[in-house]
Structure formats: C-alpha cells, structure tokens
Amino acid sequence: MNAETGGAPPVFQWKEFLGMPEVISLSAEPRLRAGKGASRATRRAGRVPGIIYGDGKDPVTISFEPRELSRAIHRAGFFATIVDVSVDGAVHRTLPREVQYHPVNDTALHVDFMRVGAGAQVHVSVPVSFTSHDSAPGLRRGGILNIVRHSIDIVCGVDAIPDRVVVDLSGLEIGDSVHIEAVTLPDGVRAVTGSRDSTIASIAASSAVREEAMAAAQTAAVAPEEEEQAAAAAPAAEA
C-alpha cells in the first residue's frame, strides 16, 4: 500500500529476467590425494585445492592457479555462472557451490564445483539490479531506495539460468514496495522464498521528507486553532 495516498499498491509489470550468463572456463590440475593434509600440501605448493562432484560420477580432486581462480570468483554472479573446468583434457561442466576463505587475508582456501548435466535442475542465487531511478516519483521527492534483497534464489534448468533480475523503478511512490511475487518469471523458472510475501525493495521516506510532512501536519493543526481564536476575539473587539 502507498503510505501517503492510502490507495491500493501498484501492480508492477515491468520486471524481467535477462539472458543466460556466459560460460567461463578454468584450467585445473588433478590432485592424487584427498583430505586435509593433501589440501595443506597443495596450498604450500602455491595452488588452491578444489573438488568436482555430482551427476552420478566419482569426485575429482583438483587444484587451481590462484590468480586465475581469484578473477573468476570475483566476477559478479559467480555462483550462478556455468564454469567449464578442464582437467587432463576432459571438460567438466559445473556450477560453483562453495568457496572457503582464509579468515585473515580473504584468499580462497578451497573451492567446490558441482557437475551439471544437460537439462539438470539447479538452485542458484541470481543478483538483482534496479533501473529508472529518475522515473520514480518517490525518489525524485527525496525518498530512499531501501534494498532488502540483493539477490533472489531460483530453481531452473541449468541451460536457462538468467544472469540477473532487472527491476524498473518507474512510478514508485514513497511507501511502495516491490515483492518477489510481483516478478514475472520465465517458463520453467521458480523463485524460492522463505515466506509467502518477500520484499525485494521499498521506497522509504528520508528524514528530510519526514520532517517536511511533520511540519505540514503541524501547520494544518494550528490553522483551525488560530481561526477559532480570531472568531472568539471578534465579539470582544466589537464590544
């Protein structure tokens, strides 16, 4: 509901999912041994240990060159990106599933990739971006965009992962909210939410807007009181 007008909430029809993100490639070397000791030895050798698992096949223990892996990890939407991992001439189509980081310097310590076969259904987190800020009356009047969710969890086919959700802010007033339920998803894509109605973002009143509204309310309240005082004083002046 629009907090200022008291009217019904607007129906948002202008959200869209964009196309599937590009597939990126990483080169890896096989590791002969698994386990914590083997992982520590890999890191001492200047590489980052990892594993590829899933799709009904045996796990493959691997290692990466740190700089190449770091560039991939820091890409926007990394965990919703298909990664082709090349190991000894074989290419494994995967999705990143987990990255363990060093608690002090934030470098990658271990990375997990899940194999994905053609047509597999996957659960991924897709980033949200916002457009048309200048076309939102609430923002033009000094409101603040309050982003509640920077990403949305979805379930879809591995060949149909969108790279992001775009939310057009056109027409939003102060007090309006955008909910996941208002986003029209492509066929075969389902949002995963923890509640029936999950807010993506809202337009909140800034302190300046709230102060202006309070001042206007006080002025409106004082005006009738001044009129009553003037009316009461008039007979006395005539006498």
195-207: pLDDT as tens digits: 556 899 999 988 6
- The structure's pTM equals 0.69
- Kindly give, in sequence order, each residue whose CB lies less than 8 Å from that of residue 52, ignoring residues fewer than 6 positions away: 59, 60, 62, 85, 87, 92, 94, 113, 114, 115
Question: Which CATH code is given to the segment(s) 24-120?
Answer: 2.40.240.10
Indicate where the chain has its CATH 2.40.240.10 domain(s). Answer: 24-120
| CA 147/CA 200 separation, integer angstroms | 6
User: Region 22-40: what's the mean pLDDT?
Assistant: 89
Tell which phi-psi region holds residue 34, choosing left (phi > 0), alpha (psi between -120 and 50) or beta: beta
| CA 65/CA 49 separation, integer angstroms | 9
| pLDDT confidence tier of residue 182, bands split at 50, 70 and 90 | confident
Question: Which CATH code is given to the segment(s) 122-209?
Answer: 2.170.120.20
Tell which phi-psi region holds residue 72, choosing left (phi > 0), alpha (psi between -120 and 50) or beta: alpha
Q: Using CA atoms of 176, 148, 80, 35 in order, give the dihedral in degrees to the nearest 10.
A: -170
- Kindly give, in sequence order, each residue whose CB lies less than 8 Å from that of residue 171, ignoring residues fewer than 6 positions away: 10, 135, 136, 137
Percent of the chain with pLDDT strictly greater than 90: 46
Indicate where the chain has its CATH 2.170.120.20 domain(s). Answer: 122-209
Mean per-residue pLDDT over the chain, rounded = 82
User: Region 41-56: what's the mean pLDDT?
Assistant: 94
Predicted confidence (pLDDT) per residue in 5-26, tens digit: 444 444 444 345 555 557 899 9
